Chain A
Amino acid sequence: MIVKLLRAPRLLSKCVVRNFSAVEPVVNLNERKVFAKRAETNDPATHSENDIGKFYTVSIEDNKKLFSFYEFPAQFERNIKTFNESAFMIREPALEIINSLKTLDPTKPILKFVIYGRFGEGKTMTFCHICHFAHRAGWILCYVPTSTIWMRWSKEVTFSETKPESINIPLESAQWLRNFKIQNADLISKLDLRVRDKIVWSAREITEKDAPLMELVDHGINRVKYAADVVDVLIENIKLYSTEQRCRTLVAIDGFNGFFNPKSNLKAPDKTPVPPLRVTIMQSLMKLTQADWSNGAAVLTVDTKNSYPDNREFVFPLYLLHKEGFEHLDPFIPVYVPALNPKEVNNLLDYYEEKKWLLKPQAREEIEFLSTRNPYHLTELCGPL
């Protein structure tokens, strides 16, 4: 029998050699059809514990409305273009926060959640998931994904005319107002929220009492000089309306620990250094995270990348926020975003295979091991495969 096999190299190659060969068997991609598990609905409010690890798709309209400006991690932004859809994985930390938001007591002070975790394991994606839920559930979104970028480079830095010793970053403030308008204009006009007090900006520019709130926002966008003050007034108004239970508000700030850095890259017009809390828009956002209003929630992330370089050793909230930041937020609920579990890794790889991004399905276990189940590294590893 052996002799026969040896004499017939074709036979040998088929039945024996293949098992010992280092050459990968060719998989016919047309034959193998893998589909990632997806949630039944694309509404984040309906998802339950059973949907953990599954995907749901954010519609193009929502994506444009909510996440059109620096929101996603760069890698996910690229993948949206490649896969032609923006699919979020439903994970436990996001569900935990969403469930708390669903059962929010409107008479109690705002709930504060601090999301923390290691790099690339899904802090910002959890954050985006919650924002999408809040948007769909009819909450007003005060959404600040770029505070760190403001502190790195701002095109214009001026002294504030209303607050002594404070600094305005008018262009960035106006940009934020524009985003706020894109995200919330429909909702605010539907809720019919109006400006509470008459505001005199200058001899000719006056915002009347009971003018629509969006008029105030437009004023800030058109008169960039007043943008920072408009942000302040807007935030005061929203806080009061929320407390009166006329609206619900979600404050979402990415990289909140950046607020408590000892320094920023900005220089005041007189060349003095500017710590983040000397900037007016940051002071206004700090008011939003105080627990002196109700019927709202604050979802914040802390990230080592937003911290000052000598303060990046651990990912824990107290370490990153310092005592000052901790006392500002206390009592808050820390939410840890862990690495993916095996089920989630499997579904993510299924998703990449479905999208033909992963063409060598044999390497699954190896990818899982090499990436340490970190979704960022996992996606990087799948790139050349």
Chain B
Amino acid sequence: MIVSKPWNELFVTCRSVASIHVRSLFQTSALLQTETEGLLDDDEEFRVIDLKKTSQKSVKKFQREEKPVLPPRYTRMPVDQDWASVWPGPRSFHPATVPLPMFQGNMSDGLPPVGKFANAELMKIPNFLHLTPPAVKKQTEALRKFCTAWPEGLETDEKIEQHFPLEVITSDYCHSAPKIRDPKARIVTVKFKVKALKLGKHSKDKFKRLCKDNYSEERDDVCIVADRCPVRKQNYEYAMYLITALYHEAWNFAEWEKEKSEVDMEYYDWDLNKSKQSYVQLKCWPGKPNPETVDFNTPEAIKYRNAVTDLFNKGEDVDTLAKYKEAVKDILGLS
């Protein structure tokens, strides 16, 4: 029966049988799909190299599912809401949360200023929306129960300075982070005024020089920051040790300190300067200058001495110059 059929028909039947077979395969396992297709191709025709790659499958673009956008939060806010609970802490500006018509920045000619939405300028600047007067009041009320009354006798800053000359500054923070330790907690800053220490003329100067940059000429205080030890207590004790060591070292007088010259002086001393020689020369004219014959305690000499000292120590301005002019006129006998 097979032989009697023409070759064409035989080929068609074979193909149909194969296709049925393949269909059943499809149903059993999708994994075998490519394999069977390859087998089929092998059976049917030679593969052709597609150099131009004309028959590429079109890739379908991934589209994100659009979610519905909610209206800004401020549209749903009641007028009498508690703002302190809406904006409890410091936070960068958010346009949907702040129910205020805000503008920041300028546009070019004729355009209105930029509004609060998508405005990076408003986010850059610090805002104090968490520090509204009612919020501050609320927080202070909450803290009040932990406070004690202000001690008597410490009403003014001067009194505080007198009774507590040493100021110790540390920081205590709790973080809501995986690590609750605050790295600043171990650092101890100690501040005190130099006048609070009992120092002489020499030791005061030496103390200031030993303190170097830690001493502030402007405020006349010393600020020591101790951060080299791992624990706060150790740092505090180290700071106290430093103060003690500085104080006692300042009182020591070393032999080499006698070599201090006029250039090293921290203030202008009239007696050590050329101005005194000029004065002697003036008073001894036309003889040879001899400091022993000159009286430095006359009112005009004292006035001149103070005027020159002020000019250097207080700085040059209209007042000190006027004083100097007057003093010079006195010693020259012009007034």
Decide: A331 and B316 in contact? CB cutoff 8 A: no
Question: Which single residue of chain A is at the shortest CB-CB distance from B275?
Answer: A330
Binds A, one of B18-26, B46-54, B121-129, B323-331: B323-331
Q: For the complex, is B334 an interface residue (Cβ under 8 Å from A)?
A: yes
The yes or no answer to B7 lying at the interface (CB within 8 A) is: no
State the main secondary structure of chain B at its contact with A: helix
Residues of A within 8 A of B325 (CB): 333-334
Interface set, chain B 276-335, CB cutoff 8 A to A: 278-279, 281-282, 285-286, 304, 308, 311-312, 316-317, 321, 324-325, 328-329, 331-334
Given known A-B contacts A318-B311, A333-B325, A109 and B285 have beta carbons under 8 A apart: yes
Judge whether B273 is part of the interface by a CB distance below 8 angstroms: yes
Contact for B281 among A100, A111, A291, A327, CB less than 8 A? A291
| Contact A100 to B334, CB < 8 A, known contacts A314-B316, A316-B316 | yes
- Residues from chain B with Cβ under 8 Å of A316 in the complex: 316-317, 321
> How far is A91 from B334 in the complex, measured between Cα atoms in Å?
20
Contact of B316 among A100, A319, A327, A330 (CB under 8 A): A319
Q: Which residue of B lies closest to A319 (CB)?
A: B316
Given contacts A314-B316, A316-B316, contact A333 B328 (CB under 8 A): yes
Expressed in whole angstroms, the minimum distance between the Cβ of A31 and any Cβ of chain B is 46
Q: Does A186 contact B (CB under 8 A)?
A: no
Bitwise interface map of B from 129 to 155 toward A, beta carbon under 8 Å scored 1, else 0 = 000000000000000000000000000
B332 touches A111 (CB 8 A): yes
Q: Does B195 contact A (CB under 8 A)?
A: no
Q: Is B332 within 8 A of A331, CB to CB? A: yes
Q: Is B67 an interface residue (CB 8 A)?
A: no
Count CB-based A-B contacts (< 8 Å): 54
Min Cβ gap A225→B in Å is 36
CB closest residue in chain B, given A108: B285
The chain A residue with its CB closest to the CB of B273 is A327
Interface size for A (C-beta < 8 A) is 22
Taking the complex as formed, is B274 at the interface, i.e. its CB lies under 8 A from any CB of chain A? yes
Contact (A334, B286) CB under 8 Å given A314-B316, A318-B311, A327-B274:
no
Question: Would you call B286 and A107 a contact (CB within 8 A)?
Answer: yes
Greatest chain A CB density within 10 A among B312, B317, B325 is at: B325
Assess whether B308 is in contact with A330, with CB atoms less than 8 Å apart. Answer: yes
Bound form: Cα–Cα A294–B329 in Å: 17
| A183 CB to nearest chain B CB (Å) | 27
B332 touching A294, Cβ below 8 Å: no
Chain B residues, CB < 8 A from A336 = 321
Separation of A291 and B334 alpha carbons in the complex (Å): 16
Q: Is the CB of A330 within 8 A of B274?
A: yes
Closest to B334 in A: A100
Residue A215 is within 8 A (CB to CB) of chain B in the complex:
no
Please name the residue on chain A nearest to B326 by beta carbon: A333
Q: Known contacts A314-B316, A327-B275, A334-B321: does B328 contact A291 (CB below 8 Å)? A: no
Note all chain A residues with C-beta closer than 8 A to B282: 109, 291, 331
In the assembled complex, A105 has its CB within 8 A of some CB on chain B:
yes
Residues 297 to 344 of chain A near chain B (Cβ within 8 Å): 314, 316-319, 323, 327, 330-334, 336
Measured between alpha carbons, how far is A357 from B325 in the docked complex, in Å?
39
Interface string of A86-104 (1 = CB under 8 A from B): 0000000000000010000
In angstroms, how far is the closest chain B Cβ from the Cβ of A174? Answer: 34
Contact A330 B278 (CB under 8 A): yes
- Nearest A residue to B329, CB-CB: A333
Residues of B within 8 A of A319 (CB): 316
Supposing A330-B274, A330-B278 touch, asked if A108 and B321 sit within 8 A by C-beta, the answer is no
Query: Which residues from A are CB-within-8-Å of B311?
Result: 318
CB distance from A357 to the nearest CB of B (A): 34
Residue from A105, A330, A334 whose CB has the most chain B CB atoms within 10 Å: A330
Question: How far is the CB of B319 from the nearest CB of chain A, in Å?
Answer: 12
**How many angstroms from the CA of A108 to the CA of B275 in the assembled complex?**
18
Is the beta-carbon distance between B304 and A331 smaller than 8 angstroms?
A: yes
**What is the chain A residue whose CB lies nearest that of B308?**
A330
A163 to B321, CA, bound (A): 37
Binding site for A on B (CB under 8 A): 273-275, 278-279, 281-282, 285-286, 304, 308, 311-312, 316-317, 321, 324-325, 328-329, 331-334
Q: Report A's interface with B, CB cutoff 8 A.
A: 100, 105, 107-109, 111, 291-292, 294, 314, 316-319, 323, 327, 330-334, 336
Can you pick out 9 interface pairs between chain A and chain B where the beta carbons lie within 8 Å of each other?
A: A100-B334, A105-B333, A109-B281, A109-B282, A314-B316, A317-B316, A331-B331, A332-B328, A334-B324
